[in-house]
Amino acid sequence: MERLDKILVSQGVGSRSEVQKLIKKKNVAVDGEIVTKPDYKVEPENAEIKVAGQALSFKKHLYIMMNKPAGVVSATKDSRDKTVLDILPDKLRRKNLAPVGRLDKDTEGLMIISDDGEFAHRVLSPKKHIYKKYYAELNGKLTEKMIESFKNGITLKDGTRFLPAELTILSENSAYVEIREGKFHQVKKMFSSQGLSVTYLKRVKIGGLSLDSNLHIGECRELTDYEKQTIFIGI
Ligand code: URA
Q: Enumerate residues lining ligand 1, CB below 6 A.
A: 103-104, 107, 185-188, 201
Catalytic residue among 78, 104, 106, 212: 104
Distance, CA of 177 to CA of 167 (rounded, Å): 5
Tell me, in angstroms, the distance from the centre of ligand 1 to residue 158's CA. Answer: 18
In eight-state DSSP terms, residue 46 is T
pLDDT band at 234 (very low <50, low <70, confident <90, very high): low
Whether the pLDDT of residue 56 is over 90: the answer is no
One-letter amino acid at 36 equals T
Whether the pLDDT of residue 215 is over 80: the answer is yes
Domains of the chain: 2-55 (3.10.290.10), 63-126+217-223 (3.30.70.580), 131-206 (3.30.70.1560)
Residues 115-141 have a mean pLDDT of 94
Backbone phi and psi for residue 19, each to the nearest 5 degrees, phi listed first: -70, -30
Closest protein CA for atom 2 of ligand 1: 185
How deeply is 213 buried, as exposed, middle or buried, from its count of CB atoms within 10 A (0-12, 13-18, 19+)? Answer: exposed
pLDDT of residue 235: 52
Catalytic, 86? Answer: no
Among the ranges given (21-30, 92-101, 193-202), the one the predictor scored with the smallest mean pLDDT: 92-101
> Ligand 1 pocket: which of 187, 196, 203, 211 to mutate (most atoms <8 Å of CB)?
187
pLDDT band at 95 (very low <50, low <70, confident <90, very high): confident
| β partners of residue 174 | 137, 171
Whether the pLDDT of residue 77 is over 70: the answer is yes
Residues 230 and 209: beta-carbon distance below 8 Å: yes
Residues 171-182 have a mean pLDDT of 96
% of the chain surpassing 70 pLDDT: 99
pLDDT of residue 179: 96
Strands 54-55 and 220-222: unpaired
> Ligand 1 pocket: which of 188, 190, 197 to mutate (most atoms <8 Å of CB)?
188
pLDDT of residue 120: 96
Tell me, in angstroms, the distance from the centre of ligand 1 to residue 231's CA. Answer: 19
- Three-state secondary structure call for residue 170: strand
pLDDT of residue 38: 97
Closest protein CA for atom 7 of ligand 1: 103
Tell me, in angstroms, the distance from the centre of ligand 1 to residue 8's CA. Answer: 36
Residues 123 and 181: beta-carbon distance below 8 Å: no
CA distances from 86 to 14, 121, 224 (A): 17, 23, 23
pLDDT of residue 182: 87
Tell me, in angstroms, the distance from the centre of ligand 1 to residue 189's CA. Answer: 9
CA distances from 205 to 68, 136, 139, 216, 217 (A): 13, 13, 23, 16, 15
Average pLDDT, the chain: 94
